């Protein structure tokens, strides 16, 4: 397996910003993944997995780490009975298609999440009233010392959170779904896709939701809208005029622009509502909001 050097993360993320990764690889089997993790440990390199790059913001200066994208059998999915098995790099779209073709329901909510099976486990992704913890039976987690299956309880899944840490990579997942008419699945997915298009900037370059919803009835998007932030721009980044919990790349944004917008959004939410919003997007490299 080839390990590439100095690969631009702007080409690997949906927001389209970020400097180079020190190293980049695409393991296609569990053996390749484990060997890559061992090599990274021996060389003192941190390991980060980007999936589709839809929930990450990478430092403009680059990331001193080995960045992984899972491919091959680690990105495949298949259904057997009511069980859907997928590699950690399998896209949610592929998993949904496999489930639908097998007449399995329960995964429809993921049509609103442009990510991968492993990314879903990492952050307990969710939408429209469901999340990974509701359908996950177990996940195969690889480290430099080997691999092992973990249950949702082992993973510590809660709202947009798992206990997984740097150096752990979700190599495979198993979902327990339920029999459902494929026509019903198609109808439900169409409804959710239409709802997403109506409320979110699906045709713009974003990294997905910026902040987690705080406790209470007021979500992060509505809170930031009430702060007057829709359309607010810094450099090449703009808070979406369609949904205030999204940052759009208006064409020449940098990660620094995005961070500045996020910091301003947090400041206004704290000032107007007394709430400290917690970012949902994963920050790669030497960057933070603190």
Ranges of beta strands (E only) in the chain are 3-8, 20-25, 46-49, 56-58, 63-68, 77-80, 83-87, 104-105, 126-127, 130-131, 136-143, 146-150, 169-176, 178-179, 233-234, 237-239, 247-249, 282-284
Is residue 128 classed exposed, middle or buried when 0-12, 13-18 and 19+ CB atoms within 10 A define those classes?
middle
Residue 160 a catalytic site member: yes
- Which residue in 39, 160, 188, 222 is the catalytic one? 160
What secondary structure letter does DSSP report for 192?
A: H
Question: Across the strands, what pairs with 142?
Answer: 147, 169
Report the Cα 117 to chain-centroid distance in Å: 9
Burial 222-242 (b: 16+ CB within 10 A, else e): ebbeebebbebebebbbbbeb
Residue 78 a catalytic site member: no
Q: How far apart are CA 87 and CA 30, in angstroms?
A: 10
Question: Across the strands, what pairs with 116?
Answer: 91
- Which residue in 54, 209, 240, 255 is the catalytic one? 209
Question: In the block, which residue shows the tokens 């359309």?
Answer: 231
Structure-token pair, residue 21? 């990764």
Q: Which residue from 46, 34, 25, 48 is spatially nearest to 146, judged by alpha carbons? A: 34
Residue 54 a catalytic site member: no
Q: Which residue from 229, 252, 254 is spatially nearest to 242, judged by alpha carbons? A: 229
CB 245 within 8 A of CB 211: yes
Give the residue numbers annotated as catalytic, written as ranges.
160, 209, 280
């Amino acid at each position: 397996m080839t390990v590439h050097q100095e690969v631009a993360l702007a080409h690997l993320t949906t927001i389209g910003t970020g400097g180079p990764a020190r190293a980049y690889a695409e393991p296609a089997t569990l053996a390749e993944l484990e060997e890559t993790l061992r090599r990274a440990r021996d060389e003192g390199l941190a390991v980060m997995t980007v999936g589709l790059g839809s929930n990450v913001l990478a430092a403009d200066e680059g990331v001193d780490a080995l960045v992984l994208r899972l491919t091959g059998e680690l990105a495949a999915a298949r259904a057997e009975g009511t069980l859907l098995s997928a590699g950690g790099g399998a896209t949610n779209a592929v998993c949904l298609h496999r489930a639908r073709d097998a007449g399995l329901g329960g995964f429809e909510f993921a049509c609103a999440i442009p990510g991968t099976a492993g990314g879903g486990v990492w952050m307990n992704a969710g939408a429209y009233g469901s999340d990974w913890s509701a359908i996950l039976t177990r996940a195969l987690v690889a480290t430099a010392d080997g691999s092992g299956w973990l249950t949702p309880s082992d993973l510590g899944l809660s709202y947009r959170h798992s206990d997984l840490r740097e150096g752990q990579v979700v190599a495979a997942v198993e979902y327990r779904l339920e029999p459902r008419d494929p026509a019903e699945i198609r109808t439900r997915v169409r409804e959710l896709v239409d709802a997403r298009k109506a409320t979110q900037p699906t045709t713009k370059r974003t990294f997905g939701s910026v902040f987690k919803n705080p406790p209470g009835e007021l979500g992060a998007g509505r809170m930031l809208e009430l702060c007057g932030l829709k359309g607010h721009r810094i450099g090449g980044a703009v808070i979406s005029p369609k949904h205030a919990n999204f940052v759009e790349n208006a064409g020449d944004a940098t990660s620094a622009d995005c961070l500045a917008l996020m910091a301003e959004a947090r400041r206004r939410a704290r000032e107007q509502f007394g709430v400290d919003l917690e970012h949902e997007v994963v920050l790669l490299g030497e960057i933070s909001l603190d």
